[in-house]
Amino acid sequence: MRLTDLLHPHLDEVTSVVDATSGSLRLDPYLHLPPGVTPTRHEQPVGEGELLLLCHGPDPALHGDEAGCLAALERMRPGGRGLIVFGHPGTDLPYHRLLDALVAHRCQVLHAASLGYTHLHAGAVFACTEELLPPHDWFGRPLPADGFATALRIADEYVLADFVSRSQRARLIDLERAAEETARALETAREDGLAERLAAAVRDKDQLAAALRGARDRVDVLETRVAMLEGSTSLRVGKALVSAARSPRRGAVRLPGELYGLWRRRKGGQGRTSGSPAPAPAPETGADDRFHLSHRALSVAPRDRLVITGVLSDRTAEDFAADAVVSRVLPHDGRLLVERTDPDVFLVQLSACTDEHGPWALTGTALAPDLDRTLAELIGQARASGRTAVLWRDGPATGAPGLSRFPWDAVLDGDTGVRLARLDPVTDGRDRIRDAFQQDSTRVRLAMLAELVGAPDPLDARRIAVLAAPRDATDVARLVAQTLGQQHRPAEVVVADPAGLALDELTAASVTVHAGPPTAPWVADWTDLTEDRPDTLLLDLLCAQEFSGADAVGHTPAADDYAFVPTLRPLLVRRSLLDSGAPPDTWSRAGHRLFAVRGKEPS
C-alpha cells in the first residue's frame, strides 16, 4: 500500500498537515495532498482540522528519535488527527513503546496497514477524541458501530487477534531457529565434504595420470614394434611374393627386379655409417578420436544467463532453452560434457528418468545399475568441480526411488512450469496467461533455480524502463500513481532532470529514477502523462511479448488482439530496437516482429 492510500481516506475536514518528524526523512513527496490541504510545520497544539505527521523507526538519523515522537503526541487536542509511519517491519513493530502515550493523550488508532517502501514498512492513523470512535475496516471505511458495541468489538478483536498472532509469532520463531540450525549444519557438512571431495579428486587425478602414463608407454612400445616389422626385409619379401602371386603375368616379370632391389637396399643399409642420416619417417595420420556431441548449446558471450547441464526431458529442455543455456547429457558422454560446459547447475529431472523412451529410462529403479552408476559419477564430478547438483522432482518419488539416495545439494518439488507460448489466449483466457506469467511460467521456475545456485536471474529479462517528462506537481503525482499502481511495476523511470522533481516515493518503492539512456531490456514511452493507463497495462504487454517473442508490442486501430501485425502504435519496445533509431513504420520491413494486444478487454 502507498502512503496516500492510507492517508487520504482520513483527510475529510482536514485543512493542514503538520510535519512533526525530527529525522532527515522528508515525507512531503509521499503525501500528494489534495487541493485545500496545506503542509506546515509549527510547535503549537494540533486540534480540529489538523493532522499531525510522525515517524518512528530503528534509525534515529533517518526516522527521528523516540523521545521526539512521544513529545509530539503531547500536542494532540480533541478533534486533531495524526499519521505515524514506522521504519520497523510489521512483525517487529514496537507499538508497546507508544501505546501508553497514545492512551494518556486520548488518541485512538483508527487504521493500520503495511507500506511498500524500502525504509517505511507500516503506518497508522489515529485521532484525539473524548469518546470512543468506530474503527475502520481493511479499506479505511468506518464501521457502523457506536458506544458500547464499538468497545465490545474492539475488545473482542483484540483478544482474538492477539491469540492468533501469538501462535503465529511462536511458529515464526521456531521456523527461524530451525532454518538457522539447518543452515549451520549444511555449512558444516559442506566444509567437511569439500575437503573429502578434494582429497578424492586428487586421488582420482593421480590414478588417472598414472594410468595415462602407462598407456602412453605401451603405445610407444607398440609403435616401435610396428615400425620394426614394417621395415623388416622378410615382410617386404612376403609382400612382393603376394603381389606376384595375385598377378602372375606382370608380377612374375617384376619379381626378380624387386628382390634384387631389396637386397641392394639391405646391403646399403648395413654398410651405412652411424653418421649417415636416416631416412625421414613418413608422416603419421592419427585417427580422429574426438567426441562429436549432440543436444549441445554453446554461448561465447559474457555469462548473463543460467547455464544448465543435466538429464532433462525433450519438452523441458525446449522450454528452458528460451531463457537459459541448456545442454542434455547422454550416458556415454556425460563426463566430457559436464567438464566442457562448466554449468551453473547439474540438474536431473525425475520425469526424464521415468520416461520409458528416453536415454535415461529406468534410472533410479534398480533395474539399470549401469545408468545408476553413470549418474552417480556425473553427480560426483559436478560437485567436485564446485557445481550444484539438483534433483527436480516433478513427479511421484516412487517412480524412481533410487534417485533420493544420491548426494544432492538441493531438491526441488513441483512441476517445471508452463511456457506462455504453449497457452491459447482464446481457450485459456487472459487471466490464465496473467497467472502463468506471474506464478507458473518456466521463467519463474528458472528464477527459483538461479537464486538457489547464485546464477543470473532470468526475471531480469522482464525489467521495464518508463520514459517520462513530468512538467509540474500534477504530472509528478500522476507518474508516481501510475507507476506504483502497475501490477507489473517498472524497474526504472527515466526523466530529464530527476533532481528537480519530487520522485522520492518511487525510489523508496525500489524503482530506480535517473537521467540518460534506459538500461532495462524493455522501454515504455509515458511522456504523455494525461493518458489514463490501467493497472494491468504493462502486465498485459509483457505477457503478450513473452507469448509471442515479439520485438515491439502495442495497439492497432482495428483492436487486433494477440496477432502479428505489420504496423502498430508501440507501447512496449525492445531497448536495442529503440536504440537503433529506425522509425516505427519501418520496423516490420526490417524483419522485426510486431505483436498487437487489445487495449481493453470486453465486458
Contact 595, 548 (CB under 8 A): yes
User: Percent of the chain at pLDDT above 70?
Assistant: 83
CB-CB contact of 82 with 125 (8 Å):
yes
DSSP E strand boundaries for 115-245: 122-128
Lowest mean pLDDT among 11-15, 38-42, 500-504: 500-504
pLDDT value at residue 222: 81
Q: What is the dihedral of CA 133, 137, 140, 146, to 10 degrees?
A: -20
Q: How far apart are CA 18 and CA 174, in angstroms?
A: 43
Last residue of a domain, one of 100, 121, 144: 144
Q: Quickly state the pLDDT bin for 267 (edges 50, 70, 90).
A: low
Kindly state the average pLDDT of the residues 414-439.
93
CATH number of the domain where residue 438 is located: 3.40.50
* Number of domains comprising the chain: 3
Average pLDDT over residues 476-488: 95
Q: Is the pLDDT confidence value at 249 over 70? A: no
Q: How confident is the model at residue 280 (pLDDT cuts 50, 70, 90)?
A: very low
Residues 500 and 429 occupy one common structural domain? no
CB neighbour list of residue 154: distance below 8 Å, 6 or more residues apart: 132, 135
Three-class DSSP labels, 367-394 = CCHHHHHHHHHHHHHHHHCCCEEEEEEC
Question: DSSP characters for 237-295?
Answer: HHHHHHHHHHSHHHHHHHHHHHHHHHHHHHHHHHH--TTSPPPPPPPP---------SS
CA distance 158 to 160: 6
Across residues 136-158, what is the average pLDDT? 71
What's the chain's average pLDDT?
85
Averaged pLDDT, 447-459: 94
Domain that holds residue 512: 458-596
324 and 396, same domain (yes or no): yes
Residues 77 and 21 in one domain: yes
Same domain? 465 vs 591: yes
Rounded to 10°, the helix 248-271/233-246 angle is 170
Tens of pLDDT, residues 499-549: 888 899 999 999 999 999 999 999 999 999 999 999 999 999 999 999 999
**Residue after which a domain boundary falls, among 429, 453, 477:** 453
- 3-class DSSP string for 409-443: CEEEECCCCECHHHCCHHHHHHHHHHHHHHHHEHH
| Cα–Cα dist 352/399, whole Å | 11
Helix (H, G, I), strand (E, B) or coil at 228: helix
Whether residue 388 is found in the same domain as residue 472: no
Residue 450 has pLDDT above 70, yes or no: yes
Q: What is the pLDDT of residue 602?
A: 40
Q: Do 438 and 472 belong together in one domain?
A: no
The pLDDT value recorded for residue 290 is: 47
Banded pLDDT at 273 (limits 50, 70, 90) = very low
CB within 8 Å of 164: residues ≥ 6 apart: none
Beta strand 16-19 with 50-56 is parallel
Average pLDDT over residues 211-219: 81
Instruction: Summarize the confidence of residues 223-236 as an average pLDDT.
Output: 71
Amino acid 144: pLDDT: 67
Instruction: Flag whether pLDDT at 134 surpasses 60.
Output: yes
In a domain, 566, yes or no: yes
163 vs 548, more confident: 548
What percentage of residues in the chain have a pLDDT greater than 90?
57
Q: Are 518 and 492 in contact (CB under 8 A)?
A: yes
Same domain? 75 vs 138: yes
Among 120-129, 186-195, 416-425, 491-500, the minimum mean pLDDT is found in 186-195
Question: Can you tell me the mean pLDDT for 549-567?
Answer: 95
Of the candidates 405, 436, 453, which is a domain's last residue? 453
pLDDT band at 365 (very low <50, low <70, confident <90, very high): very high
Residue 286: its pLDDT value, please? 44
The answer on 555 and 431 residing in a single domain is: no
Sequential DSSP letters for 50-68 = EEEEEEE-S-HHHH--HHH
Higher-confidence residue of 46 and 281: namely 46
- Position 254 scores a pLDDT of 65
Domain co-membership, 50 together with 138: yes
Does 358 share its domain with 399? Answer: yes
Q: Residue 312: pLDDT above 80? A: yes
Question: Residues 324-350: pLDDT tens digits?
Answer: 999 999 998 889 899 888 899 999 999
**CA atoms of 346 and 382, how far apart (whole Å):** 7
For residue 234, the SS3 value is helix
Q: Is the pLDDT reported for residue 586 higher than 60?
A: yes
C-alpha 270/C-alpha 257 separation (Å) is: 20
pLDDT confidence of residue 193: 58
The letter for the amino acid at 116 is: G
